[in-house]
Structure 1
Amino acid sequence: MTSTQTLDLPKHQVDNQVQKLYQQGNDRAFRGEHERAIAAYTQAIALAPNFVLAYCARGNSWLELRDYRQAQADYQLALKLSPAFAIADGGLARVYYQLGEYQAALVACSRAIQHDPENLEFFHSRALINKKIGDDAGILGDCKFILERQPNDISARWLNSRAHFQMGNYQLAIFNFNQYLNLRSDDFYAHYYRGICYERLGNLEQAAIDLDCAIALADNMAILYRRRGRIRQQLGDYTNAMADYDRAIEIEPQMAQAYANRADIYINRGDYPRALIQCNQAIRFDPQLVSAHYQRGVINTEVGNLHAALADYHRLVQIDPQDINAYIQRSWIYFRHGEYPAVMSDCERVRALDRNSVPGNYLLGVVQSLSGFKQEAIFSFTKVIEIKPSFICALYHRGLLHHDLKNEAKATDDFHLAQATQAQIIDCLAKRDETGLYAEGLALYHMGHPDTAKVILHQAALVAQKLKNTVFYRQIFFTIEALGME
C-alpha cells in the first residue's frame, strides 16, 4: 500500500498505520537495526509530518549511526513543531556533545531540564557535559539531584567522586568512592583515585593498600605501578619503589615520569651518573617534563656543571614563563657565575610573580648589597624578615648594612636577634649557603669574636669553592685577608 493510497483511508486508519510504523521502528531500533528503524520512522513521518516523537526517534537512530548532522536536523525539526519538547532538546544536547560543541550542548541540555525538571537522564547528560568543560561545581549540583532520588546510581556516584577529587575535597571524595566501591568493588580506577586521595591527605599506608587493590584488579597498568612506587618512596621503601618504577617502564617503555621517579631515588642515594641517565631518558620521551629538567638542573649543580644546569633552567622558563622556582634556581647559578645584573633581573621577575618570595627577596638583597645598593638591599632583607622572622641570614646581612651605614644600634639589634634565633635552631650550620656563612662571619667579627669569625668565614670560603662560586669566593678571600685571617 503506497503512502498516497494510505492517505485516502479514514483518519483513524491512517493513525493506526502511523502508530504501527512508529512501533516497528522502535522494535528495530531496540534490536540495533537502526537503518531499518530509520526507514520505518521515515514512512511514519510521510503519513504524519507533525509526528514529533517520530522525528526524535529517527534522530536517536541517526545518533546511534553517528550521522550527527542528520540527527541534529531531526531534533531541530521536532523543536520547530514543539519548542518545549524536552526530549528533542535532550537529543540535540547529545549531538552537540558528540561534535565537541560543549557550550551548545550545555544550553540544549539546560533547556531540556527546564521543560522536564524531573528527568534524571537530562541531569546525567549535563553532568557529563560539565565534566568536559571542567565545571566540577556544576557536576556536583547535577549529581546531588540524581543521588537524592537514586542513591545507588553508579554513574552519578562516580562523577560525584571524581568532581570532589578534582576540587581537592579529598575527604568527600573518599566518602563517595567508598559508596561507589560498595556498588562496584572491581573498579581499579576507584581504588586508584581513592589511593591518591589518601596520599594527599598524608595517609600513605592506606594509599598503598588502595594501590595494591588496584594492581590486583589490573596488573598491566603502568600508571598504577608508578603511583604505588611514588607512595612507597615516600614511605622510605626505596627498593620496592624502584621495583614498581621498573615494572611501569617494562609495561610502558616511554613513560617519561617513571624515569624521572627513578632519578629521584638515584639522587637520594647520591648516584648522580645514573640519575642523570634517567633524567635524559625522561626528557627524550617528554621534552616538556618539568620535573626531569629540575632534577637534571639539580644534578648538574651538585656536580659543578653549572652551564648545563643553566641550560635546563632556561628551558624551564621557556616551558612556563610563570615558573617561579625556575627563575630562583637560575638566579643562583647566575650568582655563582658572578653575573649580578642577570641575578637582579631574575629576582625582580620572581618578585613580580610573588612579592612575598623569600628566596627571591633574599638573593636580590645579597646582590644589591654586593653591588653597593645598600638602602635597596636593606629593603629586600627587611621584606624577607617580615615574611620569615627566623631567617637569620637576612638578619646578619641587614645588620652588616646598618654597620656600613654607621647605624650601630640597629646593627647590634639585628646581630643579637640573629644569634638568639640561631641558638634555637638545631644543626644551623649545615643548612646554610656561602652567603649566610659570610654574613655571619663578618657579623661575629664586628661583635668582637674574631676567632669564631675566622672559622665561619673559612667555612664560607670552602662552600663557595665547592659550589664553584669563583667571584664570591674571591670576595670572601679578600675579606679574610683584609681582616688578617689567612
Structure 2
Amino acid sequence: MRILACLTAALLGAAFTLAHASRASAADDPSWQACVSLSATPGDRVAACNTVIEGRTEAGKRLAAAYCNRGYGLTEKRELDAALADLNEAIKLDPAYACAYTNRGRVYAFKRDLDRAISDYDEAIRIDPSFALAYNNRGDAWLNKGDLDRALADLSLAIKYNPKLAGAYGNRGFVYYRKRDAAHAIADFTTEIKLEPNVLAYINRGNVYRDTEQLDRAAADYGEAARIAPTDARGWRNRGMIRLFKGDNKGGIADYDKALQYDPNDAYSWNNRGQAKLRLGDKKGAAADLSKALELRPDLNTAQEALARLGATR
C-alpha cells in the first residue's frame, strides 16, 4: 500500500493544497519556489524551506506551509522525528491546515503508531471532507490494523473525491486482493496502470493473474515491470517463476540471472534457479545455487530437500 503525501504548491491548478502568494517578492523568491515546488527533491526541498524558515521572510499560513513542506522532505529522507517537529509547528501556526495533519498522520504511520495516524487523518477530513489523500491514507492505516472493510470504504471515498488519484486505485486493488475479489482487484490495478503506469501496479496485477492461473497474463505484466524498471529484480524473478511453472526452465534461469544481478540477497531466486538447473541436469550449478539459498535462509526446506536429493545421486 502507498501512503500518499500532501504538498503545498505555489501554482494555481496544482493537484494539492495551494498556497497563494501574498507579496510579489515572494513569488520571485527562488527559495520559496523550491520549497513549494512539486518537483523538488527531498534534499533540495529541505534546504530551500530551511532558507525560508530561518530567513524569517514569511509568517502565518505561508510559514506554516514552509514547515509542512520541510516536514514532507524530512519524511521522505526518513528523518521522522525532525519531520514530526516541523509538522507540529505547521499545525500550531495554522490549526485548520488539513495538509499538515495528513502529512503528520503519514509520519505516525511510518512510526507504526496507527491510532495517532488515524486521528490526524480524521482531523484532516473534518477540516476538508473531500480530501482524497486523507481518505487514502486512512484506508492504508485501517488495512494495517486488519480492518479491510473500513479500508475499502475509505479508499472508495478517496476515488470518489479524486477519480484520477492513481495510488488510491492501487491501494483499493490490494484490499480487494486481500479480500480474494480478483475481478475487482484486476479492474483497479488496470485503472491505476492507465492513469500512472508503475512497477508495483504491474507486479500487483501480475500476482492476481498468477493466483487465478492466468499465467500468460501474469508473465506479460511481470515482463512489463522488468521493461520499465530493468534494474528492479521483482519483475525478473516473478516472470522467472511463471516460466518455471510453464516448464520453461531455460527461460526461467535467464530471468533469475537478471534478478540475482540486481538483488543477490534473495534466497528464493537462488533456490528457484537451482531447482531449474537441477531439472536441466546441471548438478554442479544446482548445488551451488541451492547452497547459496541456504546460506541466506538456512530454514528453506525446498532447498534443503533438493540439496539432499542431489547429494544422494552424486
Q: Do the two structures share a fold, i.e. TM-score over 0.5?
A: yes
Q: How many angstroms apart in 1 are the aligned matches of 2:269 and 2:75?
A: 35
**Which structure carries more helix by proportion?**
1
Q: How many angstroms apart in 2 are the aligned matches of 1:236 and 1:283?
A: 25
Change (3 A) 1:270 1:448: farther
**1:198 offset after TM fit, Å?**
2.6
Q: How many angstroms apart in 2 are the aligned matches of 1:367 and 1:385?
A: 16
Partner residue of 1:175 out of 50, 65, 68: 50
> Could you report, residue by residue, the CA deviation over 1:262-306 in whole angstroms, capped at 9, with x for unpaired residues?
111111111111111111111111122222212212222222222
Unaligned runs of 5+ in 2: 1-10, 13-23
Identify the residue that residue 34 of structure 2 maps to in structure 1: 163
> Could you report, residue by residue, the CA deviation over 1:159-216 in whole angstroms, capped at 9, with x for unpaired residues?
3243266432144224312333x23343322222222233233232222222222222
Identify the residue that residue 446 of structure 1 maps to in structure 2: 309
> Could you report, residue by residue, the CA deviation over 1:456-477 in whole angstroms, capped at 9, with x for unpaired residues?
xxxxxxxxxxxxxxxxxxxxxx
RMSD across aligned C-alpha pairs, in angstroms? 2.7
Tell me if structure 1 keeps the 8 A contact 2:287–2:307: no
Tell me if structure 2 keeps the 8 A contact 1:157–1:179: no
Question: Is 1:263 aligned to residue 139 of structure 2?
Answer: yes
Identify which of structures 1 and 2 has the higher relative contact order when contacts are C-alpha pairs closer than 8 Å and 6+ apart. 2
Q: How many angstroms apart in 2 are the aligned matches of 1:330 and 1:441?
A: 32
Tell me if structure 1 keeps the 8 A contact 2:203–2:235: yes
Partner residue of 2:107 out of 202, 209, 231: 231
Change (3 A) 1:288 1:155: closer
> Could you report, residue by residue, the CA deviation over 1:130-152 in whole angstroms, capped at 9, with x for unpaired residues?
x89xxxxxxxxxxxxxxxxxxxx
Change (3 A) 1:373 1:267: same
Change (3 A) 1:184 1:286: closer
**1:361 offset after TM fit, Å?**
0.6
Tell me if structure 1 keeps the 8 A contact 2:166–2:191: no
Question: Is 1:395 aligned to residue 255 of structure 2?
Answer: no
3-state DSSP of counterpart to 1:287: coil
Counterpart amino acid of 2:309? H
Partner residue of 1:245 out of 90, 105, 121: 121
Question: Is 1:343 aligned to residue 218 of structure 2?
Answer: yes
**Worse-matched range after superposition: 231-240 or 295-304:** 231-240
Change (3 A) 1:165 1:185: closer
Question: Is 1:307 aligned to residue 178 of structure 2?
Answer: no
**Equivalenced residues, count:** 287
Identify the residue that residue 117 of structure 1 maps to in structure 2: none
Q: How many angstroms apart in 2 are the aligned matches of 1:306 and 1:400?
A: 30
Counterpart amino acid of 2:239? L
Identify the residue that residue 190 of structure 1 maps to in structure 2: 66
> Could you report, residue by residue, the CA deviation over 1:440-484 in whole angstroms, capped at 9, with x for unpaired residues?
4762563469xxxxxxxxxxxxxxxxxxxxxxxxxxxxxxxxxxx
Counterpart amino acid of 1:249? I
Unaligned runs of 5+ in 1: 1-130, 133-152, 430-436, 450-486
**1:226 offset after TM fit, Å?**
1.4
| TM-score, normalisation: structure 1 | 0.54
**Worse-matched range after superposition: 300-309 or 324-333:** 300-309
**1:378 offset after TM fit, Å?**
0.9
Tell me if structure 2 keeps the 8 A contact 1:365–1:376: yes
Identify the residue that residue 293 of structure 1 maps to in structure 2: 169
Identify the residue that residue 200 of structure 2 maps to in structure 1: 325
Identify the residue that residue 383 of structure 1 maps to in structure 2: 258
Q: How many angstroms apart in 1 are the aligned matches of 2:73 and 2:289?
A: 44
Change (3 A) 1:285 1:353: same
